[in-house]
């Protein structure tokens, strides 16, 4: 039986790695790295740095594969994601069948937390449905950007006795503004609530040398966040940001 380890590696700081993750790194003999090309080469570099830093026996292999881009022009978002997942499933199937021998252990180093807005678990279900089933897998939890955001701004995520909602930019609505964490927001959805009495705690590249943090009343920092975000995206070619919106309480 082949074994896959889905290891959460945190939000960007190599010291986010847990002891459990370090032990898992040292179990694997093969590391599968999906590469999106030059614009995100620093994400690949961080994964390799983590391997070099924490693996005690350097006799492991790193197998790179090109990561397909999701077609954003597909009219249906759900269908676009499904098509993208199917492409990824074919790549995963090839890696498992061709690059991993029976009895070997391989690892995917997953940004943040494997159970929070990561597609790998769903894709592995597709791999099995597509006829590749001679593997088992384990999930090693990691520190998410949500946790790192709260830590870096030194705030609790929820108010006393209040719930917390985690959603995406496209799903952000006015009813969510009490305590809502937003991930995967490519279009600054927060700007539609600039006239609401809310605070925002925003962070990009959290845990890395390029980290940017901005906080304050949304009406006062909205344009600053938008400008800073776009400038950072242009400079690096990509951006990962997360934020918390919270209604002010008199």
Write out pLDDT tens, residues 33-57.
988 766 678 888 899 999 999 999 8
Structure pTM?
0.91
Mention the CATH class of domain 146-247: alpha beta
Range 167-175 average pLDDT? 91
Pairing of strands 212-217, 30-35: unpaired
Q: How confident is the model at residue 162 (pLDDT cuts 50, 70, 90)?
A: confident
> What CATH number was assigned to the domain covering residues 2-143?
3.40.1010.10
Delimit the domains of the chain by residue range: 2-143, 146-247
Burial of 99 (0-12, 13-18, 19+ CB in 10 A): middle
Tokens of 156: 């609790």
């Amino acid at each position: 039986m082949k074994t896959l380890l889905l290891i959460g590696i945190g939000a960007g700081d190599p010291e986010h790695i847990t002891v459990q993750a370090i032990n898992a790194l040292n179990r694997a003999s093969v590391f599968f790295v999906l590469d999106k090309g030059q614009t995100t080469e620093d994400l690949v570099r961080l994964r390799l740095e983590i391997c070099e830093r924490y693996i005690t026996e350097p006799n492991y292999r790193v197998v790179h594969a090109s990561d397909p881009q999701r077609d954003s022009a597909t009219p249906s978002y759900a269908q676009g994601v499904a098509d993208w997942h199917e492409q990824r499933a074919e790549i995963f199937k090839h890696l498992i069948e061709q690059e991993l021998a029976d009895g070997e252990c391989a690892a995917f180093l997953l940004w943040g937390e494997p159970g929070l807005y990561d597609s790998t678990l769903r894709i592995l279900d597709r791999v099995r449905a597509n006829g590749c089933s001679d593997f088992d897998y384990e999930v090693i939890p990691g520190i998410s950007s949500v946790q790192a955001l709260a830590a870096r701004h030194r705030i609790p995520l929820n108010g006393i006795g209040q719930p917390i909602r985690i959603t995406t930019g496209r799903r952000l609505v006015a009813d969510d503004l009490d305590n809502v964490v937003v991930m995967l927001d490519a279009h600054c959805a927060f700007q539609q609530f600039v006239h609401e009495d809310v605070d925002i705690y925003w962070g990009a590249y959290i845990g890395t040398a390029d980290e940017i943090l901005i906080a304050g009343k949304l009406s006062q920092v909205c344009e600053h966040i938008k400008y800073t975000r776009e400038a950072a995206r242009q400079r690096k070619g990509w951006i990962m940001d997360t934020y918390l919106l919270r209604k002010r309480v008199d």
